[in-house]
Amino acid sequence: MNKVTVRDIEVGGKRVLVRVDFNVPLDEKTGAIADDSRIRATLPTIKYLIDRGARIILCSHLGRPGGKVVDKLRLPIIAQRLSQILGKQVGVTRDCIGSETEKSVQSLKSSDVLLLENLRFHSAEERDNPIFARALARLADIYVNDAFGTSHRSHASIVRITEYLPSVAGLLLEKEVKTLGGVLENPAHPFGGLVGGAKVSDKVDMLENIMSKVDFLLIGGGMAATFLKAKSYEIGLSLIESDRVDTAAGLIEEASRNGVRLLLPVDVIVTDEIGDEAKGKIVSIESISPQQKIVDIGSHTIRNFYEELRRCKTVFWNGPMGIYEIPQFAEGTKAMAKLLASLDAITIIGGGSTAEVVIELGLADKMSFVSTGGGASLKFLGGQTLPGVESLLDKDSLVIGKLKGVTPSR
């Protein structure tokens, strides 16, 4: 990664504003943190700064408050969990900007950690507002982006702020870019892509970009119905993107031209209705009735996918194989997670709902890498630039001495 990282600069005694992604899932009933993986993922950067005596100011969003203060999306619960994990007190402000917040920052001592209140309580955050970004920048001497999962967004705390502070990458963002970049540049072969989820449109760029790199491409989830439709199979009442059927057909042809073995389901679980009490049955793809909906891959498909994936040296997985939220339609997804966890291969999980599945099943530590960015990882693997990464200082800045007031580390 050709970007300056927090390791490259002196941070001792400096006020360092770190954009993190603490947008953790909350329990709907209790409001408690349901999974703190995103908090733990940024610990290397936070601990690095603590150990070097920086004055650390963390900022994040949580949920979608729409530019208004929403009490259930306040961040003291995050600060409390981070305090427990770090074993030291993490303060939290009542707002992310303003005179009161500036006073809290001024009182910080070396190695202190302060968390700013939810950035998205201000609509200016998502509008990439320069006045808001400048108010954030006044709090610090250096800006660190460690929020890979939000780096595909052109928001004030991600992009605009880099106009006002010397801006570098955190250790998590560096790891994400290097790991996902390795998939594109030099994957160990055979290389398999396991792709699911609901929409083809979300993954077209990624599929096209990795087509010349993978040996196998396995398609499941709701998007499989669009591919089956492209091959003229009856898909019943399954939800598809009608305007993407031709796109799917084109991807099938492209796979053939590139010598990529593309596998679609040969059997699926179908149901007449979708709901918690719904019952499904396995049918071959030739036997789907006009009144049925595809909700998962079938047992024969699981075996086919297993036979291909067990030969791989690298596997990238993004998207569940069925409607994971309904237990009886989650077996295909669980089977793939357990399979990848057992492989002697580099296994990379592409964030979002796929990461949530792996974490929920307790298999995250069995995978080589679990990305914290769903949309960001898809855009990155689709060959698109991420605004939050592009706006950081280049490594060349260190060489030619243009660090905008930042001292290189020794």
pLDDT tens-digit map of 351-406: 788 999 999 999 999 999 999 988 899 999 999 999 999 999 998 876 545 455 56
Average pLDDT on 85-93 reads 97
**Structure tokens, 95:** 């707002």
Res. 81: pLDDT tops 50: yes
Q: What is the dihedral of CA 81, 140, 112, 153, to 10 degrees?
A: 20
Give the confidence band of 408 by pLDDT, cuts at 50, 70, 90. confident
More confident residue, 402 or 111: 111
Res. 183: pLDDT tops 50: yes
H or E stretch including 349?
A: strand 346-349
Task: Give backbone dihedrals phi and psi of 184, rounded to 5 degrees, phi first.
Answer: -80, -35
Give the confidence band of 314 by pLDDT, cuts at 50, 70, 90. very high
CA distances from 325 to 137, 173, 335, 387 (A): 41, 29, 15, 32
Res. 410: pLDDT tops 80: no
Judged by phi (left if over 0) then psi (alpha if -120 to 50, else beta), residue 351 lies in: left
Percentage of the chain with pLDDT > 90? 87
Average pLDDT on 75-79 reads 98
Res. 181: pLDDT tops 50: yes
pLDDT on residue 404: 53
How far apart CA 178 and CA 1 sit, in angstroms, is 6
| 3-class secondary structure, 264 | coil
pLDDT on residue 396: 83
More confident residue, 403 or 213: 213
Task: Indicate the CATH number of 6-173+386-400 among 3.30.413.10, 3.40.470.10, 3.40.50.300, 3.40.50.1260.
Answer: 3.40.50.1260
The strand pairing partners of 144, in sequence order, are 18, 168
Contact call for residues 19 and 157 (beta carbons, < 8 A): yes
Res. 319: pLDDT tops 90: yes
What DSSP state is assigned to residue 74? -
Task: Indicate the CATH number of 189-344 among 3.90.25.10, 3.40.50.2300, 3.40.50.1260, 3.40.50.720.
Answer: 3.40.50.1260
Average pLDDT on 235-239 reads 93
Task: Record the pTM.
Answer: 0.91
pLDDT on residue 287: 95
Average pLDDT on 58-86 reads 97
Average pLDDT on 191-212 reads 92
pLDDT on residue 400: 44
Residues identified as active-site: 38, 199, 352, 375
Give the confidence band of 1 by pLDDT, cuts at 50, 70, 90. confident
* Neighbouring C-alpha atoms within 13 Å toward the C-beta of 148: 30
CA angle (307 as vertex; 295, 189 as ends), nearest 5: 110
**What mean pLDDT is reported for the chain?**
94
How far apart CA 51 and CA 49 sit, in angstroms, is 5
Number of helices (H) and strands (E) in the chain: give both, helices first.
16, 15
For the chain, where do the domains classified as CATH 3.40.50.1260 start and end? 6-173+386-400, 189-344
In the block, which residue shows the tokens 């302060």?
Answer: 114
**Helices of type H across 189-313:** 204-210, 223-230, 245-257, 299-309
Return the biggest CA–CA distance within the chain. Answer: 69
How far apart CA 4 and CA 18 sit, in angstroms, is 14
Average pLDDT on 299-305 reads 97
